[in-house]
A and B are shown apart, each in its own frame.
Chain A
Amino acid sequence: MAVGSRLTHVIESQQFSRSTLEELFARSEEIKREPHRFMTRLNGQVMAALFYEPSTRTRLSFEAAMMRLGGWTMGTDNAREFSSTAKGETLEDTIRIVSGYADVIVLRHNEEGAARRAAAVSSVPIINAGDGPGQHPTQALLDLYTIKDELNRIDGIRIAMVGDLANGRTVRSLAYLLSKFKDIKIWFVAPPQVAMRDDLKAHLTEHKVPWVETEDLDAVLPEVDVVYQTRIQKERFTDQEAYQALKGVYRIDNRTLGLMRKYAIVMHPLPRVDEIAPEVDADPRAAYFRQAHNGLHIRMALLDRVLG
């Protein structure tokens, strides 16, 4: 699964080398500027979207990406309820079958490690579109691409990751990617109940990325180039009282915007609930909709690289 000049499976963000990332970003830039040149790149190829967990953006942006490259898509949104899984079929068997129908499989699953299990038995490339609390590498790609697009660099970036860091797979994947760059500094701003997990902090320390853990968002805001806000994930709490206690502790609004640098950006993997006030949308530093839009181009670049 090593990533050299040819990408096979896309399982976790650590697998991307810095040079592969830079090539993907350059391609993404090209696609964004002149999409018509890529309209027939993947003519005749078929993408299967197997989603065991709900998702609107990820699934639609993958499908749009495939179709804008001239390919076809098929898939199911509730693989868990309506497919053979309901009859007791294992993920491995499903993948063996579907890999006979498609040229690439985009997989979203509720269990961590599912993408790796799928890759072990698949005869076509697997793209991990989120595996439970594990990783979401294509989200991390579009996040990193957004940072580069908005701030023109990745080296030297100071970023605050805010909110549910224990359950947020997007922040995990992004932190892994950032550890490949120079002079990065990360602030983890979270209530202790959903603090960043130790394995990732150990990874950062090992790669000499300085990180700080704090609960004081206001003190961090004037220091950073990027505020990566996340949603407290209701669906990952068994105790709803614990969820109610944590939701809304960190909120980006006009007051907190006032503490940020004039060029700094607010990112969010979306969907948001109330952790970013709607009044923030009008500020040019609100980058989350541009970020979501970048998902299309980076996924086009990725499919082009995997299948082209």
Chain B
Amino acid sequence: MSVTDRRLKAVVMDADQIRRSLSRIAHEIAERNRGVDDLVLVGVFSKGDHLARRLAAKLAGLEGAPVAVGALDTSRHRDDRHLREPSHRAISRVPDVDGKVVILVDDVIHHGRTARAAMDALMDFGRPRSIQLAVLVDRGHRELPIRPDYVGKNVPTSDTERVEVLVEEEDGIDQAVIVVS
């Protein structure tokens, strides 16, 4: 699915804004956790995976120590699994999370159902000491009691809109856009 199929309503973040938001989130993560010891970043496939890697690189640069990164496929844990076509699945890569502080990373949070599925999926790999959530865009309309700890940008939206994050690794451009279907 590409943005060109639908009506582009607004660009809410450009490449510079995304880069600076990720830098800020990296600082916030390091400050809140007093460094990067025992920290593991886990991105939700597929956009969250790229964002988690970038955050890990920024954190490593800030703190001078490597940060473990993983990626999660949440499809088996989704609550709408019975409603969706079976899709091509990526395979989760998750480092040791027992006793670690895991930062889940995703591009957009909306209803909060993906975040819930990601927490569930993560628990299959161990027992983290705590889980924090970082997202590039929070578009509101939560249906579950979940609130991200780190947010790049809050973007108020209506139900008829969609927020899409394009990343250079997949789309050739860094951009967050609102589209109307």
A and B form one complex: yes
- A263, B23: Cβ atoms closer than 8 Å: yes
Residues of chain B within 8 A (CB-CB) of A152 are 21, 24, 151-154
- A284, B20: Cβ atoms closer than 8 Å: yes
- A263, B20: Cβ atoms closer than 8 Å: yes
- A33, B152: Cβ atoms closer than 8 Å: no
* Cα(A302)–Cα(B151), bound, Å: 27
6 closest residue pairs by CB, A with B: A263-B24, A263-B23, A284-B16, A262-B23, A263-B20, A33-B10
- B153, A262: Cβ atoms closer than 8 Å: no
Given contacts A263-B20, A284-B20, contact A29 B156 (CB under 8 A): yes
Residues of chain A within 8 A (CB-CB) of B154 are 152
Residues of chain B within 8 A (CB-CB) of A151 are 24
**A268 CB–B CB distance under 8 Å:** no
Residues of B near any A CB (own CB < 8 A): 9-10, 16-17, 19-21, 23-24, 27, 151-154, 156, 178
Interface string of A37-63 (1 = CB under 8 A from B): 000000000000000000000000000
Residues of chain A within 8 A (CB-CB) of B21 are 152, 263
**Which of A26, A153, A225, A262 lies in contact with B156, CB distance below 8 A?**
A26
* Cα(A261)–Cα(B178), bound, Å: 29
Smallest CB separation, A143 vs chain B (Å) = 18
Residues of chain B within 8 A (CB-CB) of A185 are none
**Across the two chains, which residue of chain A brings its CB closest to B153?**
A152
Smallest CB separation, B121 vs chain A (Å) = 27
Residues of chain A within 8 A (CB-CB) of B152 are 152
Question: In the complex, which residues 245-263 of chain A have their Cβ closer than 8 Å to any Cβ of chain B?
Answer: 261-263
* Cα(A81)–Cα(B2), bound, Å: 60
Question: In the complex, which residues 212-253 of chain A have their Cβ closer than 8 Å to any Cβ of chain B?
Answer: 225
- B156, A284: Cβ atoms closer than 8 Å: no
Interface centre among A29, A261, A262 (most CB of B within 10 A): A262
**Apart from the given pairs A33-B178, A261-B27, A263-B24, 13 other A-B contacts in the complex at a CB distance below 8 Å:** A26-B156, A30-B156, A33-B9, A34-B10, A150-B20, A152-B24, A152-B151, A152-B152, A153-B151, A225-B24, A261-B24, A263-B27, A285-B20
Smallest CB separation, A93 vs chain B (Å) = 45
**Which of B9, B19, B153 lies in contact with A284, CB distance below 8 A?**
B19
**Across the two chains, which residue of chain B brings its CB closest to A225?**
B24
**Across the two chains, which residue of chain B brings its CB closest to A156?**
B28
Residues of chain A within 8 A (CB-CB) of B23 are 261-263
Residues of chain B within 8 A (CB-CB) of A33 are 9-10, 178
**Across the two chains, which residue of chain B brings its CB closest to A32?**
B10
**Which of B9, B20, B151 lies in contact with A262, CB distance below 8 A?**
B20
* Cα(A284)–Cα(B14), bound, Å: 11
* Cα(A152)–Cα(B154), bound, Å: 7
Interface string of A99-110 (1 = CB under 8 A from B): 000000000000
What are 19 sample pairs from A and B whose C-beta atoms fall under 8 A apart? A29-B156, A33-B10, A33-B178, A150-B20, A151-B24, A152-B21, A152-B152, A152-B154, A153-B151, A261-B23, A261-B24, A261-B27, A262-B20, A263-B20, A263-B23, A263-B24, A284-B16, A284-B20, A285-B20
Residues of chain B within 8 A (CB-CB) of A153 are 151
**Across the two chains, which residue of chain B brings its CB closest to A151?**
B24
**Across the two chains, which residue of chain B brings its CB closest to A149?**
B153
Residues of chain B within 8 A (CB-CB) of A284 are 16-17, 19-20
* Cα(A30)–Cα(B24), bound, Å: 25
* Cα(A34)–Cα(B21), bound, Å: 24
* Cα(A29)–Cα(B155), bound, Å: 9
Residues of chain A within 8 A (CB-CB) of B153 are 152
Residues of chain B within 8 A (CB-CB) of A262 are 20, 23
**Across the two chains, which residue of chain A brings its CB closest to B19?**
A284
Smallest CB separation, A122 vs chain B (Å) = 35
* Cα(A262)–Cα(B151), bound, Å: 17
* Cα(A225)–Cα(B10), bound, Å: 27
Question: In the complex, which residues 132-155 of chain A have their Cβ closer than 8 Å to any Cβ of chain B?
Answer: 150-153
* Cα(A43)–Cα(B151), bound, Å: 38
Smallest CB separation, A227 vs chain B (Å) = 14
